[in-house]
Chains A and B, each alone.
Chain A
């Protein structure tokens, strides 16, 4: 595809529900990142994959957050038992090489009611 694709574009969940957010990176991109962006703030790092290996998950805020990239391409960010403080835009980004600049998707806006 032409860019990083994220789905769904918008997600409304009731508190306590589980959600799954999908990211399709640019084909052939080795590195994949997830960021969380609260309203009016800059993105905050959640986790990083190089191919299928999750090399850094230091930004995941709790054990309710889980990410995977089983075949080194598509990635899923899962949030269990959602809380209101999880409401944010979740951005996925990929890069062709390790250390290269990031191409971002347009994000999934999650609202927890």
Chain B
């Protein structure tokens, strides 16, 4: 069974203090790894898709990386508006299987 585990569950940082969020996965045949941001009372908002080990993608203060067992979301010099829950999800298995399997999320708080 495909599994996704995110750590830490919650993280508090000061504004400008860089850190990384971890997403470990156990799947049969990874087809894509997705990062989403979720604000309270809202649906998840797409950030990145990574397809193969070694791939990296960047957007503003965020950079996502992928290895064969895990993905990291690096946040550089965060601002209070970066506070949110960050969700990792995998798409795996046979071609045609479209569902995403999500981790439980990391709740990130950036204090001014």
Contacts and interface: CB of A to CB of B under 8 A. Distances in A.
A101 B91 CA distance: 11
A40 B42 CA distance: 13
B49 A107 contact: no
Interface in B56-112: 87, 89, 91, 96-105
Interface string B1-34: 0001010000000000000000000000001101
Interface residues of A, number: 27
A107 B101 CA distance: 18
Interface of A: 4, 31, 33, 35, 40-45, 48, 50, 55-56, 58-59, 91, 93, 98-99, 101-107
Contacts of B4: 42
A102 B41 CA distance: 18
Contacts of B100: 33, 43, 45, 102
B4 to A, nearest CB: 8
18 contacts: A33-B99, A40-B104, A40-B105, A41-B104, A45-B99, A45-B100, A50-B98, A56-B98, A59-B99, A91-B43, A91-B44, A99-B31, A99-B32, A99-B98, A101-B34, A102-B100, A104-B44, A105-B43
A102 B102 CA distance: 13
Given A42-B89, A101-B34, A106 B43 contact: yes
Interface residues of B, number: 26
A45 B101 contact: yes
B102 to A, nearest CB: 3
Among all A-B residue pairs, the 5 with the closest Cβ atoms: A104-B43, A42-B102, A45-B99, A101-B46, A104-B44
Contacts of B36: 104
A43 B98 contact: no
Contacts of A41: 104-105
B45 interface: yes
